[in-house]
Amino acid sequence: MRILSGIQPTGEMHIGNYLGAWKRLVELQTSNECFYMIADLHALTVPQKANELAQATLQKAVELLSIGIDPEHSTLFVQSHVSAHTELAWILNTLTPLGELERMTQFKEKSKKYRANINAGLLDYPVLQAADILLYLPDGVPVGKDQIQHVELTRELAKRFNATYGAIFKEPKALVAKEEEGAKIMSLKDPKKKMSKSDPPDTWIGIFEDEGIIKRKIASATTDSGKDVAYNPAKKPGISNLLTIYSLVAEQPIRAVEKKFQKKGYAPFKKAVAELLISKLRPLRSEKKQLESREVYLREILRQGAKKANAVASRTMEEARRKVGFLQI
């Protein structure tokens, strides 16, 4: 299959989005043709500092390479390096009813959050995302639940373009991780709530965080009454969350982990969770440190990525221009 996904350049990765989403991007590489894009155009829809954006983009590339995105297998590129994205977005704009964009959950949430900056880009965001996707004619788009709506719109726009101008675009499927496979890691302090970077630091664990800090955060994670290590998200949300984390990191079924720690009590279990996390994340952290000192190499990867992405995108764009009826010279 051909796969495409996009990642915003801002915001550091935590074990929630790593285990829930990004680890899968790494796994998909082995048997698929993958295009992974750092969505810097999308980032502009909320306030950014011009002198920090390039650094954040480079840093995101470092993070993606550190978790195992392999430029030999996948095309890793920066959205603003492929101008076809904005060009196709314009055409798709003319096929998108305003009402559909106004109904998007993300638009409604973000316009509440950024009241002072409800710009047209925020509304148009899903159309740009549709262009990101359609240009590469992918079969699958791995995304989190919050992005399903955008992939549905993408399918809709592919259909509409094909019906209006002639068939070019594929209707890609959203590939969403199943909840029971750990799609959701909860806050360490309030395990009824999703782990999120916008909450205080003791509620989440960054994937490149110091070992001492990981130890401390797991030790102070909220547990539940009783003392059995048992999986029961309704009655024991804290312990269940730690079991989920352990199970995903160790790649063992929850039942097996439960059995292993059932009679051991909370403290030794938490210690084991911390140790496991630390040992699994250590190689990622050292890879990140190494890459951070290799800026020339990083830029070269992104240059190659842009070249490969442009080759595919410009072919699709050429075809789209022709179908739309633009004058050819």
Catalytic residues: 110, 194, 197
CA-based Rg of the chain, rounded to a whole angstrom? 21
Binding site for ligand AMP (CB under 6 A): 11, 16-17, 20-21, 143-146, 183-185, 194-195
Distances (CA, A) of 37 to 5, 155, 170, 267: 6, 19, 19, 41
Binding flag, residue 313, ligand TRP (CB under 6 A): no
Looking at the DSSP bridge assignments, the partners of residue 186 are 194
How is residue 197 written in tokens? 């970077």
- How far is CA 97 from its chain centroid? 27
Residues 71-110 as x/- pattern, contact with ligand TRP by CB under 6 A: ----------------------------------------
With CB cut-offs between 5 and 8 Å by kind, which of ligand TRP, ligand AMP, none does residue 239 bind? none
Binding flag, residue 5, ligand TRP (CB under 6 A): yes
With CB cut-offs between 5 and 8 Å by kind, which of ligand AMP, ligand TRP, none does residue 82 bind? none
With CB cut-offs between 5 and 8 Å by kind, which of ligand TRP, ligand AMP, none does residue 132 bind? ligand TRP
Cβ closest to ligand AMP, residue 145 vs residue 264: 145
Cβ closest to ligand AMP, residue 183 vs residue 291: 183
With CB cut-offs between 5 and 8 Å by kind, which of ligand AMP, ligand TRP, none does residue 65 bind? none
How is residue 56 written in tokens? 């954040």
Please report how close the Cβ of residue 14 comes to ligand TRP at its closest, in angstroms: 14
Q: Among the residues of the chain, which ranges form H helices?
A: 15-17, 23-28, 40-43, 50-66, 84-93, 98-102, 105-113, 120-134, 148-165, 211-219, 237-250, 254-261, 266-292, 295-324
State phi, psi for 76 to the nearest 5 degrees.
-105, 120
Count, residues near ligand TRP per rule CB under 6 A = 12
3-state SS assignment for residue 278: helix
Give residues in contact with ligand TRP (CB under 6 A): 4-6, 8, 39, 42, 129, 132-133, 141, 143, 147
